């Protein structure tokens, strides 16, 4: 599981399978477990990216200071940071959104006792995430 949309798709599949059989109630615990895995994984990646960004910033400052007389090296340093920083920002924002979605969905589902309301919330959120 890497995204909330995948966890929702798996939960919808479990609901279809449960509708065919008699067993009820195991799907939500699987969804909550999958959401916990997504949050943990994305947080680790988020922190790794932040640490790498700090290291890249320190290295860029060091290179700029060391080769301040060589404009070719300075242009390379600025090019490298200009390429990597937008990717890092985009990836970090996407991870943070996925973490927020997973935590919100986890809080909603863990505090609801009504299966019908849970299914409606899943339906609404999955429509928004798949678009």
Give the pTM: 0.67
Tens digit of each residue's pLDDT (9 = 90 or more) over 49-82: 889 888 888 988 888 888 888 888 888 888 888 8
Q: End-to-end alpha-carbon separation of the chain, Å?
A: 19
Residues of the chain scoring pLDDT < 70: 1-2, 15-29, 128-131
Place of tokens 């009820």: 24
Q: What is the pLDDT of residue 22?
A: 44
């Amino acid at each position: 599981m890497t995204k909330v949309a995948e966890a929702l798709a798996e939960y919808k599949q479990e609901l279809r399978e449960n509708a065919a059989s008699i067993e009820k109630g195991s799907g939500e615990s699987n969804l909550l477990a999958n959401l916990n895995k997504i949050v943990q994984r994305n947080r680790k990646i988020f922190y790794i990216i932040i640490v790498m960004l700090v290291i890249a910033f320190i290295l860029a400052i060091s290179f700029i200071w060391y080769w301040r007389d060589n404009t070719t090296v300075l242009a390379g340093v600025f090019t490298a940071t200009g390429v990597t920083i937008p990717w890092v920002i985009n990836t970090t924002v996407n991870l943070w959104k996925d973490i927020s979605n997973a935590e919100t969905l986890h809080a909603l589902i863990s505090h609801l006792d009504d299966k019908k309301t849970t299914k409606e919330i899943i339906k609404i959120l999955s429509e928004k995430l798949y678009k």
